[in-house]
């Protein structure tokens, strides 16, 4: 259906060299979007898979939380004439008991997962306002936007904050035809969960609670992200959509 088509649009996706970000970039390209990938390291495989679909891939080398968002967007616009969609996917996690957690691990996670999301979204929203075109911003939240978790204090704080930020930005920008929403993935088979999957006890505990009976995959986010980035979601603002195999319903 045309309602879900992204033909003629360009999507910026952060952290798309592997994992969930790669799956998101490919899903958007399958729906017709060109991709601007923002990554610390080259997204060679993602670029190959996007171009194989007949879409353009533009790469921006950047370290979120360190490089200026204005510079990142500037580099993107030097390659792509416009940006219509922003998916704030890049994130990091540090694990330690709360009593032992360091200020460095706190700051680095908050800077990447929350601070950079706000200022990158701000830059894109200014670009969209200047064009008077409207657009879509999708933040990748987490189950820990709803729950506390254990041994990941800065990650939980950042993802809880991200859900609140999604609502705030939606409140301010909906009137300008900018949809701001979020996706909260469940337990996905990615690098971020490798430690959990390698721990037999935690692996079995987690899997035993997921009604779907399996860990999620990057492909499981495809429908949700295409929906939120398409005209089908034009009246959806400030919502965080859980894609979790039923975890939160348990």
Q: How far apart are the first and last CA of the chain?
A: 33
Distance CA 3, CA 133 (A): 17
HSE (CB half, 13 Å, CA atoms) of 212?
14
Query: Considering Cα of 152, then 153, then 158, then 164, what sign does the dihedral take?
Result: positive
Alpha helices in 68-221 (DSSP H): 69-79, 103-110, 116-131, 153-173, 194-198, 200-209
Q: Give me the catalytic one of 155, 215, 227, 247.
A: 155
Radius of gyration of the chain (CA): 17
Closest CA to 178 of 217, 108, 234, 226: 234
Residue 235 designated active-site? no
Catalytic residues: 155
């Amino acid at each position: 259906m045309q309602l879900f088509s992204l033909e003629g649009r360009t999507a910026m996706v952060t952290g798309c060299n592997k994992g969930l970000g790669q799956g998101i970039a490919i899903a958007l390209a399958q729906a017709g979007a060109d991709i601007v990938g923002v990554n610390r390291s080259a997204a060679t495989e993602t670029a190959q898979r996007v171009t194989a679909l007949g879409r353009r891939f533009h790469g921006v080398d950047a370290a979120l939380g360190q490089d200026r968002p204005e510079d990142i967007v500037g580099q993107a616009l030097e390659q792509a004439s416009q940006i219509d969609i922003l998916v704030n996917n890049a994130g990091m996690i540090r694990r330690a008991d709360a009593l032992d957690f360091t200020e460095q691990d706190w700051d680095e996670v908050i800077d990447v997962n929350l601070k950079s999301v706000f200022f990158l979204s701000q830059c894109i929203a200014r670009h969209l306002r200047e064009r008077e075109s409207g657009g879509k911003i999708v933040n990748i939240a987490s189950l820990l936007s709803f729950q506390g978790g254990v041994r990941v204090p800065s990650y939980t704080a950042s993802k809880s904050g991200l859900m609140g930020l999604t609502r705030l930005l939606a409140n301010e920008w909906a009137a300008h035809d900018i949809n701001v929403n979020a996706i909260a993935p469940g337990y996905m088979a990615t690098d971020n969960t490798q430690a959990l999957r390698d721990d037999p006890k935690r692996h079995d505990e987690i899997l035993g609670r997921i009604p779907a009976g399996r860990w999620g995959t990057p492909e499981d986010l495809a429908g949700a992200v295409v929906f939120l980035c398409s005209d089908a979601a034009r009246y959806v603002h400030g919502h965080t959509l859980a894609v979790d195999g039923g975890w939160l319903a348990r």
